[in-house]
């Protein structure tokens, strides 16, 4: 019988993230959201506390946490502010291809400086012409002497305007589709790396998202991750690891919406009693509670499989997909419980809905998650 209680060590990790979220993130969240501020001082504090580079092993200076531990932290940060959390955990996504596909020398070269002082990295897979269909990406890698030359454009890249390193997926031969794709890491100072403007987003406004162009960027062969043509499975394996924490982030948004709605249901009166005593509100709160708890358990299940070294492709997609849909449903119902106030920016719940929406889209839209889930499921039923 699985034990769902947390050990004292896990509780203190959760507590650290909770305190950081409540004391550093939440007091600034509304202002950063309203004005689209990228609060770098908060990200630096997160780095100082070991809340960044969570997946990088301690031998390279990272926090060296497993997937379950990461999920506990990310849920708490997501509760505090989803946008800030996206920027804080973007290094985990960008550095994961190096952890999975890098040689020992590459890991030491990249990860150690990253963990020694505050740096941001970005994951460059998505392109203007191909988001969900990652196998059809058009950024070209051309062999050139001892190395490669990269040309193309990536879009919707978290932290791109601030990143000092990019992991980039590019094709040596588009005719080969996914088999032509290789992965590279490229320092921002390389000639021809041109980050674009910060996008104006609906939610996650404390996070920074932008394009980055690679204009004939020379990359040494030593910066290729894995063999030529191995980039696509590396990207997929990376996302298998990082979709579960997105489920945790979404669970944090949903829990925050539920807490606001439950408190308001006790305080606000209508028809002579607190609105929480009306069954119409109780039905909503019961649904919201069930969604939050199911989302959390699904992320915990996926994370436990990852920590056990088992294949978790299906479970990661289930966790990400369910938890992000739950975050949308729960934050939508929270607004409904707040009524007209919920629609106003003076109250905290409309931000949660705007933030929840992105979790259904990034790191693979939920339509892609359902494709992955169905494929994996049918594989298990092979005759």
Q: Is the Cβ of residue 301 or residue 324 nearer to ligand CAA in the bound state?
A: 324
Figure out which of the listed residues 13, 84, 125, 302 binds ligand CAA, where binding follows CB under 6 A. 125
Under rule CB under 6 A, residue 362 binds ligand CAA:
yes
User: How many DSSP H helices and E strands does the chain contain?
Assistant: 11, 10
First to last CA, the chain: 31
**Angstrom distances, CA of residue 276 to CA of 21, 177, 341, 375, 377:** 27, 55, 16, 43, 41
Under rule CB under 6 A, residue 66 binds ligand CAA:
no
Read out DSSP for 285-321? HHHHHHHHHHHHHHHHHHHHHHHTT---HHHHHHHHH
Burial of 30-46, coded b for 16+ CB within 10 Å and e otherwise, reads bebbeeeebbeebbebb
Q: Which stretch binds ligand CAA (CB under 6 A): 33-41, 151-159, 283-291, 345-353?
A: 151-159
Figure out which of the listed residues 313, 331, 359, 366 binds ligand CAA, where binding follows CB under 6 A. 313
Instruction: Give the shortest CB-122-to-ligand CAA separation in angstroms.
Output: 7
Q: Is the Cβ of residue 24 or residue 363 nearer to ligand CAA in the bound state?
A: 363
Figure out which of the listed residues 77, 98, 111, 134 binds ligand CAA, where binding follows CB under 6 A. 134
Q: Which stretch binds ligand CAA (CB under 6 A): 58-66, 231-239, 268-276, 334-342?
A: 231-239
Nearest to 100, CA basis, from 201, 183, 157, 27: 183
Q: What does the per-residue mask of binding to ligand CAA show for 80-119, with x meaning CB under 6 A?
A: ----------x--x--------------------------
Q: Is the Cβ of residue 132 or residue 290 nearer to ligand CAA in the bound state?
A: 132
Nearest to 74, CA basis, from 60, 85, 63, 61: 85
* Radius of gyration, alpha carbons of the chain: 21
Nearest to 347, CA basis, from 339, 357, 356, 358: 339
Instruction: Give the shortest CB-4-to-ligand CAA separation in angstroms.
Output: 27
Nearest to 336, CA basis, from 258, 235, 237, 267: 258
Figure out which of the listed residues 240, 315, 350, 355 binds ligand CAA, where binding follows CB under 6 A. 240
Chain residue whose CB lies nearest ligand CAA: 364
Read out DSSP for 232-249? HHHHHHHHHHHHHHHHHH
Q: Is the Cβ of residue 93 or residue 225 nearer to ligand CAA in the bound state?
A: 93
> Backbone phi, then psi, for 287, in 5-degree steps?
-60, -45
Q: Is the Cβ of residue 68 or residue 156 nearer to ligand CAA in the bound state?
A: 156
Figure out which of the listed residues 232, 322, 338, 347 binds ligand CAA, where binding follows CB under 6 A. 232
The answer to whether residues 122 and 163 touch, using CB atoms and an 8 Å cutoff, is yes
Figure out which of the listed residues 333, 363, 366, 373 binds ligand CAA, where binding follows CB under 6 A. 363
Under rule CB under 6 A, residue 364 binds ligand CAA:
yes
Q: Using CB under 6 A, list all residues that contact ligand CAA.
A: 90, 93, 123, 125-126, 132-135, 156-158, 178, 232-233, 236-237, 239-240, 313, 362-364, 368, 371-372
């Amino acid at each position: 019988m699985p034990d769902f209680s947390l050990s004292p060590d896990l509780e203190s990790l959760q507590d650290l993230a909770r305190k950081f979220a409540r004391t550093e993130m939440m007091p600034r969240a509304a202002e950063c959201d309203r004005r689209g501020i990228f609060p770098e001082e908060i990200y630096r504090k997160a780095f100082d506390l070991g809340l960044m580079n969570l997946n990088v092993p301690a031998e390279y200076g990272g926090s060296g946490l497993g997937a379950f531990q990461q999920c506990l932290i990310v849920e708490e940060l997501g509760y505090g502010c989803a946008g800030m959390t996206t920027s804080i955990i973007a290094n985990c996504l960008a550095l994961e291809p190096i952890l999975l596909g890098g040689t020992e020398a590459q890991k030491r070269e990249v990860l150690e400086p990253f963990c020694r002082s505050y740096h941001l990295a970005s994951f460059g897979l998505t392109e203007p012409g191909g988001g969900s269909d990652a196998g059809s990406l058009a950024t070209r890698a051309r062999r050139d002497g001892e190395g490669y030359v990269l040309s193309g454009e990536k879009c919707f890249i978290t932290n791109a305007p601030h990143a000092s390193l990019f992991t980039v997926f590019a094709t040596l031969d588009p005719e080969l589709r996914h088999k032509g794709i290789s992965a590279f890491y490229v320092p921002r100072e390389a000639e021809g790396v041109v980050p674009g403007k910060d996008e104006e987003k609906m939610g996650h406004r404390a996070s920074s998202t932008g394009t980055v162009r690679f204009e004939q960027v020379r990359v040494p062969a030593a910066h290729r991750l894995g063999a030529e043509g191995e980039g696509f499975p590396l990207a997929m394996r990376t996302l298998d690891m990082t979709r579960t924490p997105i489920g945790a982030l979404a669970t944090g948004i949903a829990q925050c919406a539920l807490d606001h709605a439950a408190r308001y249901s006790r305080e606000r009166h209508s028809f002579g009693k607190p609105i929480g005593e009306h069954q119409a509100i109780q039905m909503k709160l019961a649904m919201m509670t069930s969604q939050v708890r199911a989302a959390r358990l699904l992320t915990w299940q996926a994370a436990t499989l990852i920590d056990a070294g088992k294949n978790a492709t299906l479970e990661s997609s289930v966790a990400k997909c369910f938890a992000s849909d739950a975050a949308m449903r729960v934050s939508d119902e929270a607004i409904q419980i707040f009524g007209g106030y919920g629609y106003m920016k003076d109250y905290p719940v409309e931000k949660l809905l705007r933030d929840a929406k992105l979790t259904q889209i990034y790191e693979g839209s939920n339509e892609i998650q359902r494709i992955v889930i169905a494929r994996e499921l049918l594989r298990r039923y092979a005759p």
